[in-house]
């Protein structure tokens, strides 16, 4: 009997203890708030800076000057540029509560589209900028199809964009007849091979898209709507935000970045093939998530995404310089993704209990 | 003698009065505190074996919380639970089932995609080394269904294809499959027609004859008269009457026990609405199939119209349809004489309508975003310059409302999640104040709100109406609706059963209407 009584007291006791812990956390959190720097986005990005710095240290130690040279750094940035642009679009879609699996395929389709145009006779009469423009249009169009399906057709984003991923790849194969199409438009090739102020054009494009993405997400009504739609679509709808329309725009934006990526790919490799951008969507998603954007939506960071892209590209570079296999790279990437997400959950849980 | 003050030796551990059934379950002094609200404040419940014990109380009286404590979903902060006179703890739902306490929730908790048999043995599948014993499961299911008087239901039938009544039988069979000694039924008749209800009663009587105790929750007093043995009445988280014999308690007495407040809330008196005040909101013949039918009402500038009714009567759905969040099949909504596109929230917001929804957290707030962004969620685009946010102006607007409404803590950058219920409600009100709406729809504006914030919200409603805003209030608390509103609509089962001035109707009459209307 007395045993029973003791047991019956347990839950009450435990509850009180919990309450005490919560209050303590709340106090320490409000302390942080006043402390400033160690809290919020700065703290989150600090982890990424440290991770990237560690990778660089590893690079310098293992590869020495081969890693720490201007040329190598530009190589890393050039490699990061295309995935980077895709990741910016992906950041918007994921922050808005969605996912886009089709960007890699759409990139391929856009590049093939542009290279096909470039090999037609009409290319000789028109400026290459028209070719670029149509490639971007193809990207936006694919994104719009995704967006309409997700927003108005109520198709789950994963499925709608999976369908686009398969279909766009197929369409690219038909257009290119599975051939590699060499682009010989000199103006186009020169533009993408050029450097401005010693920095490759591809890297400039990545930087410009990132800056534009940052402004769009953090300083405009479009960005605020994205956060609202991803954070709580029902609350956003009941506040008068046109959630469906905005969702559609987000996929169109991702499609646009895929189109830009397609053109960049064409500029870098000078060839349009239907296999361009294969599995890039996964690299983009990984970079976004590692960067600290919540996969569930409602919180996104462009700076984090850029770091995420750089971390993965630097990793690849360090491994390559040390002649490690692609398989080993893949394992390391997997570990980084899981580690970052676990860390993210900790931070999220703490901010939930505290602030 | 040493034993002088002790009870007679040989007296059984369970107190029994000769001729009465033995006490099976006792809950003593149960207290459950939620952030900002004390849901249970010392509840007493005593259930005897083989009886149907009815639990009565208005919405928010604490019935659901009490059931959740009993079923292990919530842990009480204080108090004890005794089964057969022995104290027990119920740390999780499985523990409740092991003790023989099974609960049938109001929302049918069956999995549509599984078969009848799979649903009944969900969570305690009969298995050998991980392989389900399909034959045994089917056999036991047949047995249970026969015991419940429904041998016609096939154990292999997919549950999604059964009617609501059929699903309820499955739910009950599941309770029985645990060898339950206490079965809690939360409004089991809500989804049934009269034929099915009489079948339910037959099953309940069979169960009690086998010594099973049934805790029965219903708003329908007639039902309680038919099936109940004793009644416990809850109000404001306390037991106000325990173990009343059904046969010896009048309906008037029950309603008196359920109504009347222990805590007085100050609802400020407002002046009469001017007779020449223009009609701001005009709802005509609004219908959402399956939710409510042919609802019409007008709200004038400065007027408060209240919708009273039970949860699930269609009150919230009416508000949502007026706001455009649900697409009506018929009817129209006019704001200031201009018809607004049906089923379009943005159009309603643009026309100056605001809604503070029932579920603040899931429908109203961006919980992880700062307070100021929650306040400006409907207006940030208006404040922005050519698409570029003006966060400084947004903060300024938010701070003004935080001060005016006394939101605590008064920090615009705190995440909305960290605020109490009352302060979250103020944030939502501030959003519509900033927007400057002419028609404000409030769904349960004071649910989960403490007494102090309640008074502030009432005062704010009075201020708004004085400034000419038209307000529609939905609340489960009848006295709140009557206190706030000039004109009251009583809604029952998706129909308006009464419409008239608030001054000409009292709480008892409303409760009567609600219960009459819902009687099958």
Cβ-Cβ contacts under 8 Å, A236 against chain B: 366, 377
pLDDT at A308: 93
Q: Which tokens in the block code for residue A154?
A: 């109520």
End-to-end CA distance of chain B: 62
B444 Cα distance to chain centroid: 11
Q: How far away is chain B from the Cα of A339, in angstroms, using its nearest Cα?
A: 23
Listed residue (B322, B311, B312, B338) closest to B288, CA to CA: B322
- Find the closest chain B residue to A220 by CA distance: B388
Whether the predicted pLDDT of B140 surpasses 50? yes
Residues 6+ apart with CB under 8 A from A170: none
CB spacing of A222 vs B387 below 8 angstroms: yes
pLDDT at B15: 46
Chain B contact probe: residue of A240, A241, A242, A300 with most B CBs at under 10 A: A240
Q: Distance between CA A137 and CA B50 in Å, rounded?
A: 74
- Cβ atoms of B444 and B484 closer than 8 Å: no
Q: Tell me: the pLDDT tens digits for B482-494? A: 889 999 999 988 8
Query: What is the enclosing helix (H) or strand (E) of B454?
Result: helix B451-466
Cβ-Cβ contacts under 8 Å, A241 against chain B: 346, 377
Q: How far away is chain A from the Cα of B356, in angstroms, using its nearest Cα?
A: 9
Residue B436: phi, psi to the nearest 5? 75, 50
Q: What is the CATH number of domain A41-353?
A: 1.10.3470
Q: Which of B80, B357, B365 sits opposite A8 (nearest CB)?
A: B80
pLDDT at A20: 34
Q: Tell me: the pLDDT tens digits for B214-244? A: 999 887 777 888 889 999 988 888 888 888 8
Q: Tell me: the pLDDT tens digits for B332-371? A: 999 998 999 988 999 999 999 999 998 888 899 999 899 9
Whether the predicted pLDDT of B517 surpasses 70? no
Among B262-266, B348-352, B471-475, the minimum mean pLDDT is found in B262-266
Residues 6+ apart with CB under 8 A from B61: B234, B235, B236, B237, B258
pLDDT at B260: 58
Query: Can you say whether the dihedral through the CA atoms of A248, A253, A254, A258 is positive or negative?
Result: positive
Q: Which of B80, B388, B415 sits opposite A219 (nearest CB)?
A: B388
Among A210-214, B164-168, B245-249, the minimum mean pLDDT is found in B164-168
ipTM of this predicted structure: 0.78
Q: Which of B78, B345, B362 sits opposite A240 (nearest CB)?
A: B345
- Find the closest chain A residue to B319 by CA distance: A238
Whether the predicted pLDDT of B470 surpasses 50? yes
H, E, C per residue of B72-128: CCCCCCEEEEEECCEEECCCCHHHHHHCCEEEECCCCCCCCCCEHHHHHCCCCCCEE
Higher pLDDT, B106 or B286: B286
Q: List, in sequence order, every beta strand (DSSP E) within chain A.
A: 181-182, 195-196, 199-200, 271-272
Listed residue (B47, B28, B43, B45) closest to B181, CA to CA: B47
CB spacing of B388 vs A220 below 8 angstroms: yes
Query: What is the enclosing helix (H) or strand (E) of B43?
Result: strand B37-48
Q: Which of A221, A242, A298 sits opposite B368 (nearest CB)?
A: A298
Q: Which of A11, A240, A351 sits opposite B378 (nearest CB)?
A: A240
CB spacing of A235 vs B348 below 8 angstroms: no
pLDDT at A309: 95
pLDDT at B9: 42
Region of B226 please: left (phi>0), alpha (psi -120 to 50) or beta: alpha
Task: Count other C-beta atoms under 10 Å from residue A259's C-beta.
Answer: 32
Q: How far away is chain B from the Cα of A236, in angstroms, using its nearest Cα?
A: 8
Q: Distance between CA B354 and CA A105 in Å, rounded?
A: 43
Among A3-17, A81-95, A111-125, A285-299, the minimum mean pLDDT is found in A3-17
Looking up tokens 């089709």 gives: A102
Of B100-104, B247-251, B266-270, B417-421, highest mean pLDDT: B100-104
Among A48-62, A193-207, B102-116, B428-442, the minimum mean pLDDT is found in B102-116
Note if the bond before B460 is cis, omega within 30 degrees: no
- Cβ atoms of A72 and A317 closer than 8 Å: yes
**Chain A residues within 8 angstroms (CB to CB) of chain B:** 1, 4-5, 7-8, 10-12, 14-15, 26, 33, 219-225, 227-228, 231-232, 234-242, 298-299, 351-352, 355
- Indicate the SS3 state at residue A226: helix
Q: Which of A222, A232, A237 sits opposite B366 (nearest CB)?
A: A232
Chain A contact probe: residue of B30, B383, B418, B437 with most A CBs at under 10 A: B418
pLDDT class for B265, splitting at 50, 70, 90?
low
Among B12-21, B252-261, B275-284, the minimum mean pLDDT is found in B12-21
Cβ-Cβ contacts under 8 Å, B36 against chain A: none
**Chain B residues within 8 angstroms (CB to CB) of chain A:** 75-78, 80-81, 86-89, 91, 323, 325, 345-346, 348-350, 355, 357, 362-369, 373, 377-378, 380-381, 384, 387-389, 413-415, 417-418, 431
Buried b (16+ CB within 10 A) or exposed e, B92-126: ebeebbebbbbbbbbebebeeebbbbbbbbeeeee
DSSP character string of B186-223: ESGGGG--HHHHHHHHHHHHHHHHTT-EEEEE-S-HHH
pLDDT averaged over chain B?
84
Mean pLDDT, residues B254-270 taken together = 67
Mean pLDDT, residues B486-511 taken together = 88
Enter the DSSP assignment of B491. E
pLDDT at B189: 76
Mean pLDDT, residues A255-274 taken together = 91
Buried b (16+ CB within 10 A) or exposed e, B276-290: eeeebbbbeebbbee
How, if at all, do strands B213-217 and B182-186 pair?
parallel
Region of B449 please: left (phi>0), alpha (psi -120 to 50) or beta: beta
Residue B23: phi, psi to the nearest 5? -70, 130
Mean pLDDT, residues A72-82 taken together = 91
Q: Which of A5, A33, A240 sits opposite B349 (nearest CB)?
A: A240
pLDDT class for B372, splitting at 50, 70, 90?
very high
pLDDT class for B377, splitting at 50, 70, 90?
very high
Percent of chain B with pLDDT over 70: 90
Whether the predicted pLDDT of A355 surpasses 80? no
Mean pLDDT, residues B263-284 taken together = 80
Enter the DSSP assignment of A88. H
pLDDT class for A225, splitting at 50, 70, 90?
very high
Chain B contact probe: residue of A18, A214, A232, A237 with most B CBs at under 10 A: A232
Among A19-33, A296-310, A320-334, B403-417, the minimum mean pLDDT is found in A19-33
pLDDT at A275: 86
Among A56-65, A140-149, B264-273, the minimum mean pLDDT is found in B264-273
Percent of chain A with pLDDT over 90: 45
CB spacing of A4 vs B87 below 8 angstroms: yes
Chain A contact probe: residue of B78, B354, B386, B389 with most A CBs at under 10 A: B389
Mean pLDDT, residues B136-165 taken together = 83
pLDDT class for B180, splitting at 50, 70, 90?
confident
Q: Which of B89, B325, B389 sits opposite A11 (nearest CB)?
A: B89
Q: How far away is chain A from the Cα of B107, in angstroms, using its nearest Cα?
A: 22
Q: How many CB pairs under 8 A join A and B?
A: 106
Q: How far away is chain A from the Cα of B88, in angstroms, using its nearest Cα?
A: 6
Higher pLDDT, B487 or A130: B487
Listed residue (A75, A73, A87, A45) closest to A209, CA to CA: A87
pLDDT at B165: 77
Structural domains for chain B = 23-258 (3.40.50.300), 263-352+438-520 (3.40.50.300), 365-436 (no CATH)
Q: Where are the domains of chain A?
A: 41-353
Cβ-Cβ contacts under 8 Å, B388 against chain A: 219-221
Report helix, strand and coil shares of chain A as percent, to nearest 5. Answer: 80, 5, 20
Listed residue (B302, B291, B294, B303) closest to B332, CA to CA: B294
């Amino acid at each position: 009997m007395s045993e029973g009584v003791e047991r019956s007291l347990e839950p009450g006791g435990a509850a009180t203890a919990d309450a005490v812990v919560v209050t303590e956390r709340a106090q320490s959190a409000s302390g942080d708030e006043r402390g400033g720097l160690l809290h919020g986005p700065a703290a989150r990005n600090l982890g990424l800076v440290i991770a990237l710095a560690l990778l660089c240290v590893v690079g310098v130690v293992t590869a020495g000057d081969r890693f720490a040279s201007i040329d190598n750094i530009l190589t890393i940035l050039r490699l990061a540029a295309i995935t980077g642009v895709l990741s910016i679009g992906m950041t918007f879609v994921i922050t808005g509560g969605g996912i886009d699996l089709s960007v890699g395929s759409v990139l391929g389709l856009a590049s093939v589209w542009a290279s096909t145009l470039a090999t037609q006779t009409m290319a000789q009469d028109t400026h290459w900028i028209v070719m670029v423009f149509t490639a971007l249009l193809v990207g936006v169009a694919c994104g719009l199809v995704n967006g309409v399906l997700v927003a108005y057709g109520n198709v789950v984003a994963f499925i709608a964009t999976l369908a686009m991923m398969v279909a766009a790849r197929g369409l690219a194969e038909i257009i290119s007849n599975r051939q590699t199409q060499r682009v010989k438009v000199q103006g186009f090739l020169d533009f993408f091979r050029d450097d401005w102020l010693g920095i490759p054009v591809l890297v400039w494009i990545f930087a410009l898209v990132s800056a534009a993405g940052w402004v769009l997400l953090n300083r405009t009504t479009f960005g605020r709507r994205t956060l609202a739609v991803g954070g709580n679509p029902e609350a956003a709808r009941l506040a008068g935000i046109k959630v469906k329309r905005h969702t559609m725009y987000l996929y169109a934006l991702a499609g646009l970045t895929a189109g830009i990526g397609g053109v960049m790919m064409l500029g870098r490799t000078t060839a349009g093939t239907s296999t361009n951008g294969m599995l890039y969507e996964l690299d983009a998603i990984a970079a976004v998530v590692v960067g600290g954007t919540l996969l569930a939506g409602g919180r996104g960071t462009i700076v984090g995404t850029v770091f995420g892209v750089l971390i993965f590209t630097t990793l690849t570079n360090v491994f390559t310089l040390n002649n490690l296999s692609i398989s080993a790279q893949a394992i390391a990437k997997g570990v980084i993704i899981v580690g970052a997400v676990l860390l993210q959950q900790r931070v999220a849980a703490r901010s939930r209990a505290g602030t | 003698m040493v034993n002088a003050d002790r009870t007679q030796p040989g007296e059984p551990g369970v107190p029994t009065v000769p001729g009465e059934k033995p006490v099976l379950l006792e809950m003593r002094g149960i207290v459950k505190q939620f952030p900002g609200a004390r849901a249970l404040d010392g509840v007493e419940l005593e259930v005897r074996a083989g009886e149907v014990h009815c639990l009565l109380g208005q919405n928010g009286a604490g019935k659901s919380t009490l059931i959740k404590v009993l079923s292990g979903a919530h842990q009480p902060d204080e108090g004890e639970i005794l089964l057969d006179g022995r104290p027990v703890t119920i740390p999780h739902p499985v523990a409740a089932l092991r003790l023989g306490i099974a609960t049938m929730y109001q929302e049918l908790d069956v999995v549509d995609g599984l078969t009848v048999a799979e649903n009944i043995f969900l969570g305690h599948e009969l298995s050998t080394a991980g392989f389900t014993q399909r034959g045994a499961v089917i056999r036991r299911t047949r047995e249970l269904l026969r015991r419940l008087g429904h041998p016609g239901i096939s154990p292999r039938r997919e549950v999604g294809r059964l009617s609501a009544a059929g699903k309820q039988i499955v739910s009950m069979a599941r309770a029985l499959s645990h060898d339950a000694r206490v079965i809690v039924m939360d409004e089991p008749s809500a989804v049934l027609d009269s034929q099915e209800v009489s079948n339910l009663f037959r099953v309940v009587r069979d169960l009690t004859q086998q010594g099973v105790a049934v805790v029965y929750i219903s708003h329908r007093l007639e039902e309680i008269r038919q099936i109940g043995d004793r009644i416990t009445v809850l109000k404001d988280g306390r037991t106000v009457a325990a173990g009343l014999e059904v046969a010896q308690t009048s309906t008037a007495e029950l309603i008196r026990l359920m109504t009347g407040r222990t805590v007085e809330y100050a609802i400020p008196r407002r002046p009469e609405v001017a007779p020449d005040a223009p009609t701001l909101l005009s709802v005509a013949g609004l219908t959402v199939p399956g939710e409510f039918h042919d609802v019409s009402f007008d709200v004038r500038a400065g007027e408060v119209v209240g919708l009273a009714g039970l949860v699930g009567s269609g009150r919230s759905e009416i508000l949502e349809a007026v706001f455009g969040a649900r697409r009506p099949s018929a009817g129209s909504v006019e704001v200031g004489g201009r018809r607004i596109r049906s089923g379009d929230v943005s159009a309603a917001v643009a026309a100056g309508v605001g809604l503070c929804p029932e579920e603040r957290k899931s429908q109203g707030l961006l919980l992880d975003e700062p307070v100021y962004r929650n306040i400006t969620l409907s207006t940030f685009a208006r404040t922005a310059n050519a698409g570029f946010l003006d966060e400084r102006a947004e903060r300024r607007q938010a701070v003004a409302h935080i001060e005016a409404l006394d939101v605590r803590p008064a920090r615009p950058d705190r995440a909305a999640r960290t605020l109490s219920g009352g302060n979250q409600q103020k944030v939502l009100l501030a959003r519509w104040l900033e927007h400057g709406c002419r028609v404000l729809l409030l769904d349960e504006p004071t649910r989960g709100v403490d007494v102090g914030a309640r008074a502030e919200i009432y005062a704010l409603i009075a201020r708004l109406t004085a400034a000419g805003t038209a307000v529609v209030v939905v609340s489960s608390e009848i006295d709140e609706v009557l206190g706030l509103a000039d004109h009251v609509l009583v809604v029952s089962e998706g129909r308006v059963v009464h419409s008239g001035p608030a001054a000409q109707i009292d709480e008892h009459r409303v409760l009567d209407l609600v219960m009459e209307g819902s009687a099958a």
